[in-house]
Structure 1
Amino acid sequence: MTVLSTPEHYSTQLQQAAHFIQEHNDFLVVSHVQPDGDAAGSTFAMAWILTSMGKRFTLINEGPMPEKFLYMAAGRHEILDYEAEGASLAAFQHVISVDCADYSRIGSVRQIFADNARILNIDHHVTNDYFGTVNLVDAEAAATVEVLYDLVRELNVPYCHDLNVCIYSGLLTDTGGFRYANTSAKVMRIAADMLSRGVAGHALADKLLEKLSYPQISLIQRSLNTLNFAHDKRVAWLVVSRADVAESGASNEDSDGLVNYPRNVEGVEVGLLFKERPAGVVKVSLRSTGTVDVSQIAKLFGGGGHMRAAGCALNGTLEEAVERVVQEVGLVLR
């Protein structure tokens, strides 16, 4: 479901979200499966917000949080891995979901939601289906942390240093280092505010965007050997198998950013990355230079996202996933 957002509507959403947090306690905070920088930033930002309000909460994700994002916890907050620890948890009545475009993106953590759970859905994806009891969704925001920045002001809680780091980190990663088309004037104002409050932007850029481990370099080398083109070279893609990840010693998050290589080839309008996952699942990342709305292509396969950046997952082999998605992109390019 897409809801037309106006300043008045967004203001009402902020008030409702603030009321939800103020009136309840003992929250479960969850982001989407395989969290990226904005999901991590939003999760830990919410932890700092709730801490400042004296609220009880549990942070969780379907799998482990990538180690490179754990600095945002500042050694104060633990985030649980549902696959390892979720079975021992009781059901939660109050849930805060951050950066999840739809209910399915929460993953298996849904199993510890109480049957009558009330959900605060905070997000920025245009494909968000408004699954929450209360929804705070701004499809014009570059990142969910941008929405949380507004919520902090609505709640009138202090911008502590650790919260500021989370907000800046989410903006930095979801805008590609303030280079993507979603880098709005508001984004830059928020970034400037965070810098003025003492966030070391250069250090975060180096940590999140520049530094590469040897396994990452090895995985890049392997994946570039799979580069392929179709539809008059307007579509390009890379393939990463489970064997590639294992043999390079890489982790799943080490494939983050690989989709930019095919997208950045001159003349390419849609770049794709196909990542083999366990149990016969292939995760697909889609990136557009702006001429194609890849969120609509992702929706055809049960996914979603934004016009220029989207994702989905298909059942089957890598070869089958490549054939199906590349064919669908070709139909859009006609």
Structure 2
Amino acid sequence: MNPNRNSVEEAARFMQQHDRFLVLSHVNPDGDATGSALGVALILEQLGKKYVVVNEGETPAKFNFLPRFDRLLNLEKQPLDETFEAVIAVDCADESRMGDVRSFFRSDASLLNIDHHPTNDGFGSVNLIRTDAAATAEILYDVALAAGVSFNEELALCIYTGLLTDTGGFRYSNTSPKVMEIASQLLRYGVKPGEVAERCLEEITFAHIKILRLALQSLQLSHRNLVASITVRKEDFAVSGAEREDAGGLVNYCRNIEGVEVGVSFIEAEAGVVKVSMRARDRVDVSAVAKQLGGGGHAKAAGCTVRGSLPEAQDIVWRALGEALGVNSHE
């Protein structure tokens, strides 16, 4: 076993041995990141521990049905005035995905890194990394058992949300027998699957529709029609009144086109900063492409941030995908 991959029992001991924690997930958090972070908070409460749970930036409002959501601090608006000896990071594919949070760590801080991304570089003092897990929430379920806490509707809801969102509603290839067994157990605590699916997978904002309408005008095929890409420019956000989170999921429209192997979205979050998301079928491991460009993720879902103009970012990504596919982007 890789020495950076510690046991569930060690993760549970980490929670039991410290008294006050900083809990965080990755920037631009999704359902697994948010559910896992709040799940950790609930486990710590049962262990009689104190915590502060944060994220660098806004957490999407669609997750506000999760317990303790109101305790999630946005560090861009609510900076902390203390430092922490014990830190727990969940669902962060690498250290950079935590954001600029190191200033809140004590110089002797210990960090528990719980994650399922193959690109995770083991940046913690204790690293519980299981790349065979469908979601970080799946790992957290085992940690909760090892810590001896009691499952209830609140904890079950957080973990279920992580499982549901990272498996695409139990549709992706990472939906394993264990995932379904855990989900079945969680439903026994009162989780309402229809309501969770409606909030996380079905309901969209009108701003999403407006940004989608603009983005679809940029849809193009390349690499012998194996790659489909979509672009959102900074001015598109201004015209539509949409926020960054409203552009989530656009990449799936590209990947779902018949015959396309890789879908890509280029989101100009601010001038000179382009957020790239990639979704793949079978021929390309997009986590390897993303890692090459300073990002990370999974074989079929990954992303990175490219510094530069939109044309520069597109050229960099298209060249990398061309190498992975063995096809020139202009073919």
TM-score band w.r.t. shorter chain: over 0.9
Determine the C-alpha separation between the residues in 2 that align with 1:71 and 1:332. Answer: 40
Residue pair 1:74, 1:162 contacting (<8 A) in 2 also: no
Distance of aligned partners of 1:74 and 1:131 in 2 relative to their CA distance in 1, 3 Å threshold: closer
By how many angstroms is 1:35 displaced? 0.5
Residue pair 1:226, 1:238 contacting (<8 A) in 2 also: yes
By how many angstroms is 1:4 displaced? 4.6
The alignment status of 1:290 with 2:282, answered yes or no, reads: yes
Match of 1:43 in 2: 37
By how many angstroms is 1:68 displaced? 1.3
Residue pair 2:271, 2:309 contacting (<8 A) in 1 also: no
By how many angstroms is 1:15 displaced? 1.1
Match of 2:162 in 1: 170
Residue pair 2:12, 2:146 contacting (<8 A) in 1 also: yes
Match of 2:207 in 1: 215
SS in structure 1 opposite 2:294? coil
By how many angstroms is 1:256 displaced? 1.4
| Residues 210-289 of structure 1: pairs in structure 2 closer than 5 A | 210-289=202-281
Match of 1:142 in 2: 134
SS in structure 2 opposite 1:34? coil
Structure 2 residue corresponding to 1:152, chosen from 129, 144, 149: 144
Q: Deviations over 1:134-160 (max 9, x none)?
A: 011110111100000010111110112
SS in structure 1 opposite 2:175? coil
Structure 2 residue corresponding to 1:21, chosen from 15, 18, 42: 15
By how many angstroms is 1:82 displaced? 1.1
Determine the C-alpha separation between the residues in 1 that align with 2:212 and 2:287. Answer: 25
User: Aligned-residue CA RMSD in angstroms?
Assistant: 1.5
Determine the C-alpha separation between the residues in 1 that align with 2:256 and 2:12. Answer: 41
Determine the C-alpha separation between the residues in 1 that align with 2:189 and 2:211. Answer: 37
Determine the C-alpha separation between the residues in 1 that align with 2:30 and 2:139. Answer: 16
After TM superposition, the score normalised by the length of structure 2 is: 0.95
Residue pair 1:92, 1:112 contacting (<8 A) in 2 also: yes
Structure 2 residue corresponding to 1:131, chosen from 123, 130, 143: 123
Q: By percentage of residues, which structure has more helix? A: 1
Match of 1:79 in 2: 72
By how many angstroms is 1:246 displaced? 2.5
SS in structure 1 opposite 2:260? coil
Residue pair 2:113, 2:125 contacting (<8 A) in 1 also: yes
Residue ranges of structure 2 left out of the alignment (5+ in a row): 327-331
After TM superposition, the score normalised by the length of structure 1 is: 0.94
